[in-house]
Every structure is written in C-alpha cells, then in structure tokens.
Structure 1
Amino acid sequence: MEGGEGGGALLSELYKSAQKFLIRTKEGLTRLEAIEFSSGASSSASSSASSSFALAGDPMELSTAVRRDIGQIQSLCAEMDRLWRSIPSPGQRGLWKRKVEQVAEEADSLRKSLDRQALRHESRIQEAKDRKDLLERANGDSDHVLRIFDEEAQAMQSAQNSSKMLEEAYATGVAVLSKYSEQRDRIKRAQRKALDILNTVGLSNSLLKLIERRHRTDKWIAYGGMLSVIVVVFMFWKWIH
C-alpha cells in the first residue's frame, strides 16, 4: 500500500506540473496568434504570462519556448503513464489513466496548433519574399523598357536628322541645276548675239563651225554637271538609308 500511496502522490505532483505547462503553452499560442494578426498585440499581452514568455518577444523565440514546454508535457505524460500502471486499486488506476490520456491529448492538440501556426508564418515569409522579388523584377523590366524607348527615340531622332540632311542636299542639287540652266540660257543668248555679229561682219564658215562645236561642248559640260549632282544626291540618300 505504501508503494501505491507513494506512486499516487508523485502522480499528483506530476499532474499539477503538467497542468501548469498546459496553461503556459495555451497562453503562448494565444500570444503567437495575436502577433500573427496584429503587430502591436504583443505589447498588450497579459502580464500573467510566465517570465520565459515575457522575455520571448520575438515570434521565433516564443514559438521555440512553446514547443519546448509541449515537449515537457509529453515527458511528464510518459512518466505518469508508467506510474499509474503501478497503482493497485483498479478504480484509482482507471481514473489516472483517463487523466494522463487527457493531458496527452491536449499536448498533442497544442503541438498540432503550433505546427499550423509555424506553417502560416513560413508562408507569410515566403509571400513577402516573392513580393519583393516581383517588385525587383518589375523595376528591372521598367528600366529595360525605358532603355528601349530611349534607343528608339534616339533612332527616330537620327532618322529625322538624316531626312533633314537629305532634304537639304536635294534642295542644294536643285539650286545647282537651276543655276546651270540659267547659265546655259545666258550662254545661248550670248552665242546667238555673237553669231549675229559675226554674220554681220562676214566671218568665215570655219570660225562659225568652231563656235558651234564650242557651244555643243559647253552644252555637254552642263549636262554632265547636272548628272553628277544627281548621282551625288542619290548616293548620299542611299548612304543615309
């Protein structure tokens, strides 16, 4: 009987310790949930929490402390499971069996709640990392798009400058051809007057033929000059494009 009474007393002490750990573990889980949904909830947590939780302001530290207490409860349950089997009274043995099983079930439920909370915490960390990576990629893509726009704007400006240069070259060519045309007309008029004068003074036919050949030569020189200008303008246009 003394062994049974001693075992019952030790069971009572272990059971009280397990109940204290259960209360503290539930308070820790409550604080973790408050921290999860409100960043300022940890500062308004109950002052009745144990000193180990009071020092665990960081969620990771608090989670570690809760998991450590659950381990303590499970160790106490293993010890109580060994002790209640040695109680000689069937009634007392059945009562302690139910109490130990209840404590073990609560500890297992708290462990599962802690695991779910840890998974949610990891999920939030991963989501925050994914958002950060997405923003960094978005900023990088924006810079790339801006560079493309800058390059296109530069190319467009270069094309506009080239077009302007081509127009100026064309205008210059037209002006040159116009000058050649004016000079040719003046030369023709001058030659006609010279021929009229020469005919009047009775110059020889050989001199007249010489003047005509010179006229034809000047005409081909004028045509060659105009053709050269056209070729230069065309080659410049091809070089730009």
Structure 2
Amino acid sequence: MESLYHQTNNTVKEIEHAFQRLGQISTQEALDVENSIQLKITQANSNCDRLDVLLFKVPPSQRQSSKLRVDQLKYDLRHLQTSLQHAKDRRQRREQEISEREQLLNHRFSANSTQPEETCLQLDYDLQHHTQLGSAHRGVDDMISSGSGILESLISQRMTLGGAHKRIQAIGSTLGLSNHTMKLIERRLVEDRKIFLGGMLVTLLIIGLIIYFLVL
C-alpha cells in the first residue's frame, strides 16, 4: 500500500507542476497539457480506489492514519479536477475572443461617409468597444469561476473534516469501551480477592474448631 500511496502522491505533484505551465504556453500546447493532466487525474483516482481496498489489509492500529492520508489525496484530486475545468473554460473564452476579433477585423464595412477617416474611426471604436466588453465579460466569468472553486473547496473540506470527526468519535467510543471493560475487570478481581480471603478465614476457623473439639 505504501508504494501505491507514494506513487499516487507523486502523480499529484506532477499535476500541480503541469498547472504552472498552462499560463506560459500557447493554446495548442495548453490543450495537450490539459489532456495529459486529465489522464493523470483519472489514473490517480483509480489508484485511490485501490487504496480504499488495501486499507482493509492495514493493521487496525494504523488504519485510521492511512485512511486520513488517502482522504487527503482524494481531496487534492477533487480540487485539481475543478482547477482543470476552470482552466479549460478560460482557454475556450480566449479562443472565442480571438475568433470574434479576427472576424471583426476581416469584416468588410461599407462606406457610410465621403470621408475615409470617419470609417476608420468607427472601426477603431467598434473594435475597442468589443475588446472592453470581452475584458469585462472575462473578468466576471473569472470571478464566478473563482467563487465556485472556493465554494467547492469549502464543501470538500467540510466533508473531509466531517469524516475525520466521525472517525475520531469512533476511536473515542472504542477507548471509552475499553476503559469501562478494564474497570469491570478490576472490580471483579477485587471481589474475587475478597471471596478468597473470606473462604480462607472460614476454612481456618473450621479446622480450628475440629482440632479443639476432637483433639483437645
């Protein structure tokens, strides 16, 4: 299990390193990196499923800590999957903006004035207005994506902490049961000791009476 855990953990680190490249490469290269990241996330999730099965073979004393480590891997993978989706959305928006800008630049405008300068000014104004609208739209989308990512992260953290809390309660209940059992055992030992001493005293008393009446 340890080797599979470390292998999956290294895969998570490779995915995090790949995310750092997305903002530094071209659109086509970004698409290839996104596909590579998705494959690694899928493989890591498959490894986590195998780790869940292997947990039953871990000694009970180590099972809780191993379970927490696997849960942390799952949380990291969910966060990376969300980040990948946001990166894809941003890339698609950039591609759409570039396509719309090219269409606008290649569009043939009919002369609406005898002055060519007025047509050029109108074209520049339309292009600037379109660029500003695209930037504002992209900013709003980024804010929504960031808020959605933060919300999903909080939900995942709540689920992880809730599971850890339940496991801690289970451990506490188990320890409480063990302490209660130990107290019962100690109480039984004290009672057995009292019965043993009482029996010895009664036996000695009977022997003394027999010696007194029969011998003396």
TM-score, structure 1 normalization = 0.44
**Structure with max Cα Rg:** 1
TM-score, structure 2 normalization = 0.49
